[in-house]
Structure 1
Amino acid sequence: MVVGDIATGTDVLVIGAGPGGYVAAIRAGQLDLDVTLVEKESYGGTCLNHGCIPSKALITATGVAHEAGNAEGMGIHADPAIDMGGMMEWKDGVVSQLTGGVEKLCKANGVNLVEGRAEFDGENRARVAHGGDGQGSESIEFEHAVVATGSRPIEIPGFEFDGERILSSRDALALESVPDSLVIIGAGYIGMELAGVFAKLGTDVTVVEMLEEALTGYADDLAKPVVDNMEDLGVEIRLGEAASGWEETGDGMSVTTETEDGEEASYACEKALVAVGRQPVTDTLNLEAVGIEPDEGGFLATDDRARTDLEHVFAVGDVAGEPMLAHKGMKEGQVAAEVIAGEPSALDYQAVPAAVFTEPEIGTVGMTETEAEEAGFEPAVGQMPFRASGRALTTGHTDGFVRIVADSESGFLLGGQIVGPEASELIAEVGLAIELGATLEDVAATIHTHPTLSEAVHEAAENALGHAIHTLNR
């Protein structure tokens, strides 16, 4: 029996409980608004359940095994045995702890949690279909709505996801056994991160990329140490080759690629992972009913207060456009809630960091030297190689460098690029400096703990000023 439609009302309806959505809901609750958060699957969204957190858990776990098995230079001799089931159980435990924490935080802040799929049914009304037979649906009247429905992996023609042969990143992070061989289609950050994971698990990995470079969007000198390390792990990287098809073979499958010149190649493997990017999930929302039209890519245009074309409808996270980063979505969710509550809040994207959790890691924030020049600055650039860092030497990881970009006239920091150990952590100092309007002199005058990797940030600033001590001045 189908339960009849139930009508309720709320100040703020948040659709989607990923990083952008749950932050918007919690912040709105803190501001004494009546909040309803609708989630159709799992609290924490893709990031906590099928993306950021599980992938970093596996990156860490496989990194521990690889480090232990390759530490002869430190006088350590070990041959680690990986229990894939145990590793996945640990990863799932991490995910469960975080998603459970999100649910508890929402409830503690007075957020009304509703399970189901929401779509608009008018300018100030949404309908939520509850899963399962007989669960029915309900209508929710709202004064403000926050769209936070996230993104999904992009499929390519002929490589539709089946969870068996053709994997999405979500499928790959849930495998119960290690494939003997894997072709990864796409050499972006997702493909390269997972290439490292499976290579360290002992999988024979081939990465095919239709573009002529891996990690497109990052400078060559940032990507090269990563590519070199992948090749040292045994990963074969084939650039300028587009995946064109696949077929079953006697003991697996074969993926065919084609170059712009029409040259074909084939790669035998057990499974193929498609990691060519993600697309926003806005096609499930019945946007016509509320009067919003997405752009050609499915994204919702927003202003600096996270508002769409309608002042009472906001969009945060991946649906609001690039960069599709969880921490960007979190900030947008916070701002959306504060704007709804009448707070003087706005978005400022000048210091949004990005990180790639490969080995070595990449961290970037703000402008590159080229971007600074294009913006009319005369950049002062300083660099510190990790091979000259005492702490990096003691970790055995000396590939890469820290680079600082500043305005030579004022000294204000404009950006930074790091490739090397803990780059994802180190880039935060540069981002904070930009946000605070710090100068090269400010960073150089700040005493950094010795011996630490963060000293490389200090030395890069000193290098830009022309008086670095532990590296040659430019």
Structure 2
Amino acid sequence: MSQFDVAIIGSGPGGYVAAIRAAQLGFKTAIIEKYSVMGGTCLNVGCIPSKALLDSSEHFHNAVHNFDSHGIKIQSPVADIERMVARKNEVVEQTTKGIEFLMDKNKVTVYTGMGSFKDANTILISKQDGSTEEIQAKYSIIATGSKPSTLPFAQIDKERIITSTEALSLKEIPKHLIVIGGGVIGLELGSVYRRLGSDVTVVEYMDKIIPGMDGALSKELQKVLKKQGIKFMLSTAVSAVERNGEEVLVKGKDKKDQEIEVKGDYVLVSVGRKPYTDQLGLDNAGVELDERGRVKVNTQLQTNISNIYAIGDVVAGPMLAHKASEEGVFVAEVLAGQKPHINYDLIPGVVYTWPEVAGVGKTQEQLTAEGRAIKVGSFPMRALGRSRASGDLDGFVKIIADEKTDEVLGVHMIGARAADMIAAAVTAMEFRASAEDIARMSHAHPTFAEAIKEAALDATAKIAIHM
């Protein structure tokens, strides 16, 4: 039986990063992945493929709607969904092969099969050919991620009633895509197909979209997406999803308790994700779960069994790939006797629509509920020379600072390249910058990032230069 210092179950952005860091720190490391390709949900049916389709659909949208304004004359473009999906698959393959290369480079032993605990130190690997193998590990890390949540009255048939996984590989562009859920995944995939010409209706139980983000971002994103042609039915409780041949019907009640019906040819059920702990044999190891099916961990990401740790979507906290990666590094360094740190208040959230949406720190609603004395500065993207040059006029940057100390407590933005710009806000907040600190930093001109400086000027003393 092979012996390892560290064994990781799951090769997503938490698991494979944990494996690399553990190997760098001198641990004999193994990683176990049930599928034939590495990378988990993020690389195979999540972050990477969705961004590939988002980029392809944005190129098409620009060709149809924006090229003419830039003086580019072309014949009417045609969306080739099969080629878009094929390109997406190529991007995924390149990325997953890159993970395989990194495992080999760092001398991480890779096992393909379903990993489950026989006991706290022994992992049983059930392979696709029916054979099994056992390994022993001094420490184990559970990094099995999550899977799409479903609704009891919406039977996923993977054909017309689908999850995000199937939405990434459709063979045709829907005529009318109904999206149940106004969160990140639903809006991103809804945007893909709206850009390609689908009618898209988003049905959301809450009274706003992206409910976990700052309220100003929610309002602005809804306004922008409505302008792009997406329809919204908020405060609507879905009660039934029915399929009749190639037609699907969504039934529910709106906020006035009136019956509603929406017909389409595809329904995307996008109501969140749930931790994947099936078939892990956690009972055999004595690992405890919480009331939501997540693995219980302490501040060191250690379970109730001292040599077993858990990271990523399978534990509490935002289900984000970069959060999982940070936790993977964290656990490896804890095992090496180091003193790592993760500031969970500064894990940024991003929505990859266009314009992009990003936020870090507390929202204005959270700070108001806490009774915190704050000051708020904002700056519209359309006031930037760079925005006018590119034609990306929608959105703004909003900075919230403590009224007395001027420390930045939250940065929220919607606009072109917000997903990249949010890193500057994380950096500033990690070093506890004040709004004035950011306002006095030189920002290159012309750039989208100038909006951050201008918002900081507005938060500091209402002295934004270009507003």
Contact 1:8 1:138 (C-alpha < 8 Å) held by counterparts: no
State the shift of 1:223 in Å: 1.4
1:34-433 alignment, distance < 5 Å:
34-41=28-35, 42-71=37-66, 72-78=68-74, 79-133=76-130, 136-249=131-244, 251-259=246-254, 262-372=257-367, 377-433=372-428
Q: Does 1:15 align with 2:9?
A: yes
1:406-426 CA distances to partner (integer Å, 9 max, x unpaired)? Answer: 223333222201111111111
CA distance in 2: counterparts of 1:186 and 1:77, whole angstroms: 38
State the shift of 1:370 in Å: 4.2
CA distance in 2: counterparts of 1:342 and 1:219, whole angstroms: 38
CA distance in 1: counterparts of 2:165 and 2:464, whole angstroms: 47
1:337-359 CA distances to partner (integer Å, 9 max, x unpaired)? Answer: 11111112232212110101112
CA distance in 1: counterparts of 2:245 and 2:31, whole angstroms: 49
Change (3 A) 1:365 1:251: closer
CA distance in 2: counterparts of 1:414 and 1:142, whole angstroms: 42
Change (3 A) 1:428 1:288: same
1:243-276 CA distances to partner (integer Å, 9 max, x unpaired)? Answer: 2223333652322223365422222211211000
CA distance in 2: counterparts of 1:202 and 1:369, whole angstroms: 36
CA distance in 1: counterparts of 2:453 and 2:301, whole angstroms: 35
Candidates 25, 28, 37, aligned match of 1:31: 25
CA distance in 1: counterparts of 2:334 and 2:343, whole angstroms: 14
Change (3 A) 1:182 1:374: closer
CA distance in 2: counterparts of 1:178 and 1:383, whole angstroms: 38
State the shift of 1:467 in Å: 5.5
TM-score normalised by length of structure 2: 0.95
Partner AA of 1:106 in structure 2: M
Identity %: 38
State the shift of 1:99 in Å: 0.6
State the shift of 1:455 in Å: 0.6
SS of 2:241 mapped into structure 1: strand
1:197-241 CA distances to partner (integer Å, 9 max, x unpaired)? Answer: 111111121211122222212233211222122222322211122
Change (3 A) 1:84 1:210: same
State the shift of 1:284 in Å: 2.1
State the shift of 1:374 in Å: 5.2
SS of 2:79 mapped into structure 1: coil
State the shift of 1:463 in Å: 1.4
SS of 1:346 mapped into structure 2: coil
CA distance in 2: counterparts of 1:248 and 1:191, whole angstroms: 20
State the shift of 1:283 in Å: 2.7
TM-score normalised by length of structure 1: 0.94
Partner AA of 1:341 in structure 2: A
1:143-182 CA distances to partner (integer Å, 9 max, x unpaired)? Answer: 1000000000011112122211211100000112212222
- Cα RMSD, aligned residues only: 1.7
Change (3 A) 1:384 1:16: same
Q: Gapped runs of 5+ residues in structure 1? A: 1-6
Partner AA of 1:431 in structure 2: V
Change (3 A) 1:368 1:129: same
Contact 1:304 1:348 (C-alpha < 8 Å) held by counterparts: no
1:37-73 CA distances to partner (integer Å, 9 max, x unpaired)? Answer: 0000131100010001111111111011111211244
Q: Gapped runs of 5+ residues in structure 2? A: none
CA distance in 1: counterparts of 2:428 and 2:110, whole angstroms: 38
Partner AA of 2:334 in structure 1: V
1:78-108 CA distances to partner (integer Å, 9 max, x unpaired)? Answer: 4221111111111111111111001110111
Contact 1:304 1:347 (C-alpha < 8 Å) held by counterparts: no
1:372-409 CA distances to partner (integer Å, 9 max, x unpaired)? Answer: 45556532322111121111111111111111122233
State the shift of 1:189 in Å: 1.0
What is the number of equivalent residue pairs in this alignment? 464
Higher mean C-alpha deviation, range 285-294 or range 447-456: 285-294
